[in-house]
Structure 1
Amino acid sequence: MGMHLQILRASAEELTNYLSDSNLLTERVLNEAANDTRRYDIDKSWDGIIYLLTGKNSSDTSEPLSRLIFSNQLIDENLNLGTGPAHYLSPEEVKNLQEQIRDIVPSSLKEKFNAQDMKEIGVYPNNVWDEEEVDDYLIEYFETVQEVFTTASKNKEAIITFIE
């Protein structure tokens, strides 16, 4: 099973509503899971993607690009959607991060893949980095993240992330 990262695109109005009443976000997550066309599952790739972008794991938020996954802005610190609270980025923050990642050529990230370093600094999931083609797996999901941020930026949407 493991910890799968979910990314939701949300309108600015929806974000405002979720910040006012986090139960609305819970309802969306629980009731629309199968049919939510603005929800993306990037599997267990999230920490590996952060590593490829920053050279650090997601617990080190000193790099601006680490905010792609965990913004440290919480919808409701008491709301647990799986393994902790949901993080959000405003439409303006989404646009800013999208501008930072839009010109990254996904295949260029392979050069930054270092299984030994990833294991040493505790990049989740620690037991897979020696497997074949795991770098391709990370690149595929990074491309998904790029697409989600591009679409959200174009639509002036917020991004909400949580681990399920």
Structure 2
Amino acid sequence: MSMIGNLFRVTKAELEEYLNDSSMLKDWLYGENEELDYLNPDDIDKAWDGILFLLTGDGISEINHPLTKVLFSGQLIDENQDLGYGPAHYLTPEQVVDLNKQIAEITVDDLKLKFDPEKMTELGIYPEIWAEGDDAFDYLADNFLVVQKMYAEAAKNGEGMITYLN
């Protein structure tokens, strides 16, 4: 099975609703929802752990770096709710603004300097495709640009962020 990273923007009111009743989140994501496009959901495929490595020098197994919060805040909607591979994480609109400022300054060239296929393989960074070299880096860079875009839009609109793996 694949572990796909997902991000979506939410208003402050929507976030509060999900925090008060997490079943609403699961229903929204997995129910027959004709308005799902409203969420502006995006996925970063299997690139999430590789992106974390480029941002922090580690993968999901080491979540102490502040930039880990870009994908896994440690703030859970409902720790008992499984959306595929665990619960959803969230960020408030204020936290999104702060993280957006930090990641907006990161360029693809900055990421390239941190790309280390040997270390990524040694650490077991998912999805373990690092022997593919430049193609693997391009995959990560393209998906990081998706993350940057999502954060920029959320910050501009005063929205929070929900992330999860499925």
The two structures share one fold, judged by TM-score above 0.5 = yes
Partner of 2:10: 10
Provide the alpha-carbon RMSD of the alignment.
1.4
Cα contact 1:94–1:157 (8 A) shared by 2: yes
Cα contact 1:76–1:86 (8 A) shared by 2: yes
Letter in 1 for 2:106: I
Distance 1:70 1:33, change over 3 A: farther
CA–CA distance in 1 between the matches of 2:148 and 2:24? 27
User: SS of the counterpart of 1:154?
Assistant: helix
Residue 122 of structure 1: how far off its partner (Å) = 2.0
Residue 120 of structure 1: how far off its partner (Å) = 1.3
Residue 94 of structure 1: how far off its partner (Å) = 0.6
Q: How many residues align?
A: 163
CA–CA distance in 2 between the matches of 1:106 and 1:33? 35
Partner of 2:111: 109
TM-score after normalising by structure 2:
0.93
Q: How do residues 139-158 of structure 1 correspond to structure 2 at under 5 angstroms? A: 139-158=141-160
Partner of 1:43: 45
CA–CA distance in 2 between the matches of 1:35 and 1:98? 24
Partner of 2:75: 73
TM-score after normalising by structure 1:
0.94
CA–CA distance in 1 between the matches of 2:35 and 2:145? 22
Counterpart check, 1:135 vs 2:137: yes
Residue 108 of structure 1: how far off its partner (Å) = 2.6
Letter in 2 for 1:10: V
Q: How do residues 52-131 of structure 1 correspond to structure 2 at under 5 angstroms? A: 52-126=54-128, 128-131=129-132
**Any unmatched runs of 5+ in structure 1?**
none
CA–CA distance in 2 between the matches of 1:106 and 1:10? 27
User: SS of the counterpart of 2:162?
Assistant: strand
Query: What is the CA deviation profile of residues 27-80 of structure 1, one whole-angstrom value per residue up to 9, with x for unaligned ones?
Result: 110133894241101100001001011111122122100111111100001111
Residue 103 of structure 1: how far off its partner (Å) = 1.2
CA–CA distance in 2 between the matches of 1:121 and 1:161? 23
Partner of 1:27: 27
